[in-house]
Amino acid sequence: MSKIFFNTRDEMTCIDDHLIAYCKASGNYSSVKLITGKELILTQTLSKVMKMLEEPGKVNGRFIRVGRSFIVNQDFIHKINLLKQMLILSDGVGWSFEVKMTKSNLKFLQSEMINRSKKVSISGKSTTPNSQSVLEVKTQLTWGEESFPLHSGQNWIGRTDWEITSDVMVDDEFLSRRSAFIEVNETDDVFTYSFVLQRTTNKVLINDKSVKVGERVNLEIGDKISMGNTLFELKPIESESGK
């Protein structure tokens, strides 16, 4: 679980980093915009905030520094409009934020996103980062006769939709689009797994226990996740020699 402790004017606040949409500099202070719409005013500079986001144990590469004024969560970049000088951050389903930026900052961000997309190979219904750009995770998510090898970072799960895509897309009308993700972190060569539910209209269960929207649940190999009419299971990937 990636939690960060931020100092505001009046208190210390603990935030899950996956809830951060972007950060903005304001003199010696910084503001953090959460996907819930809440905004925090921090007593740390933007440089200090970036260092906190890059600390060991955090998911490195999710956040990118853009010029002197912004830190952006790359997972939520939806549109880059150079003409209007506007960055649009969104989950593609519920919330959306418009962030005014200079053309030079937007061009830099556009270039970074193009480079990032080159590291992703697309096959069938799933997208998997290039094995040279991520840690090797020998765990998979299975459902029915299908399987998806998990990668470091966020692995999104949702109903099949080619406009609002997920890493794992399933033809299940009772499963929400881009509904949840399994986050894989690595510390000292040990992988940890957690499930975060972002949205759903139907009950989601992990090992028969109900999960609430916004809740983060630690996972173990063998855990079963029920979403819609689909039952997922976290399993190890067997080596060729072990078959």
Tens digit of pLDDT for each residue in 100-109? 999 989 988 8
Overall domain count for the chain:
2
Find, among 78, 93, 89, the residue nearest to 200 by Cα.
Answer: 93
pTM of the entire structure? 0.53
Q: Give pLDDT, residue 188.
A: 74
Please indicate, yes or no, whether residues 57 and 25 belong to a single structural domain of this protein: yes
**CATH of residue 143:** 2.60.200.20
**Phi, psi (rounded to 5 degrees) for 171:** -80, 80
Q: Give pLDDT, residue 8.
A: 84
Please indicate, yes or no, whether residues 110 and 191 belong to a single structural domain of this protein: no
CA distances from 84 to 62, 72, 92, 102, 106 (A): 25, 18, 20, 10, 11
Residues linked to residue 186 through DSSP beta bridges, in sequence order: 191
- pLDDT over threshold 60, residue 135: no
Please indicate, yes or no, whether residues 55 and 104 belong to a single structural domain of this protein: yes
The pair of structure tokens assigned to 235 is 């399993």
Contact 13, 5 (CB under 8 A): yes
- pLDDT over threshold 50, residue 79: yes
Q: What is the mean pLDDT of residues 72-81?
A: 89
Whole-number mean pLDDT of the chain?
A: 83
Q: Give pLDDT, residue 119.
A: 44
Q: Give pLDDT, residue 125.
A: 38
Domain edge (last residue) among 118, 133, 155: 118
